Structure 1
Amino acid sequence: MFDFFGVLIPFLMIHIICDFYLQPNQWVEAKKKYTYRSTELYFHSLLHGIALLVPAIALGIDWRSTACLVAIIAISHFIIDLWKVRARNGDKFSYFIIDQTLHISVLAVIAFHMADGVTIDTVLQHEKFSDGVMVVFAYLLILKPTSILIGSVLRKYPISGEDTDNSGLIAGGELIGYLERVLILTFTLVGSYAAVGFVLAAKSIFRFGELNKSDDRSMTEYVLIGSLVSVVITTLVGTLISLGLDVKIK
């Protein structure tokens, strides 16, 4: 019948277009204000369903399946968006991630159902499945667990003095660390070690001005320890995973 990614990718394109390009800010504000009484919420949900007629026709999906597809997407989108706009902290980034994950999951399940010869067993037995699990494990490992480990290390080297200026974004340092480790791990896995050096050089340039103005040597050492521990852990994880993938390929 259909290829999984051949179905999923067009569906995702329609989702991105409808959710981010064809949804005015007025609709977003109206949904937050009036929730289920907002006509914009109904229009937006219907738009997602009706827009899928384009890939459905292009792929040659029969009219019964197309009708079911439109109904499922419109209804599921309405329910998910209604939950998000009614949530107390619906504007938080975590809610945005959950919202998009739910939408994409619905599309993935539909594509999985329509795909020819794709079952849970074939996915689990695929030669690349274990490789994917290893890569996902690596990314999970270098985020929260690594942050906790770095925090434990830095607690042994506290910044001296009580007048240290800690101004800046709340949790900004943690977010910077996440992004840095994701980039380093990605470049390590693809073997682009020059790009890893670029990331480190870029961070050093931005940090140089801040640390150069600081008269507190302990602050400089604190930042350097945290950065180096982050880089060492991520590089080791990336190297080990890369070696594991190479061994399996051979």
Structure 2
Amino acid sequence: MTETFAALLFAHVMADFVLQPDRMAQNKRHPLMLLAHGLVVLAVLLAVFGRLDIPLLYALALAHLALDAAKLLLPPGLRAFLGDQAAHLATLLITAVVAPALWSAAPWAGMALLPAAMAAAAGFVLATRAGGFAVGLLMAPWTDVALPPGLPGGGRLIGLLERALIFLLVLVAQPAGIGFLIAAKSVLRFETAKNEGPVGEYVIIGTLASFGWGIACAYATRGLMVALGAPLPAL
């Protein structure tokens, strides 16, 4: 069951956060865009499992499409994003429970470390790219805060890099390095963070949210990889 879940999770993350361009994500209210995303989901599922004759994969793609359509009825924001992803993860888990041997039907099921590799890839994308969406939606109500001038997209790239480093530190069993990362960012952001007004609060909230998301994704991924028998160093 764990191998099946890892493969399903990898397919979901690839379809939602890697192979879904911003134009498609922002225009899902158009039926053709929504349908195009559903076809991408189905194509990725079929590619991951290497089979065209598994009805459950078609049903899962339809469920994904239905959840995305339901999300359109909700006010856009962090709650809708987290609720949508939680619902998708629930469908993946239910599928893995109903058909635990689904992965064994894949032509490359004999590659023992492949499920762990897919879990690592999925976790990395969730920590970095999905984390960027989550933190961005969290901070959206305060976008009118007058931040000091900086590089275009610099803050977004910093967040992505810090979550990537956190993810890698946890996977190689060096979580203490996160403390040094926090210290380094505190020094670099000192002039901004010491501001007692909204700018300082904005930076602190965004930093804590980014670090928290990265840590949560890293430990969840590590737990899944250990369950899959990945040869990770002990914490």
Larger radius of gyration: 1
Q: Answer 1 or 2: which has greater helix percent.
A: 1
Q: TM-score, normalised by structure 2?
A: 0.49
Higher relative contact order (CA 8 A, sep 6+): 2
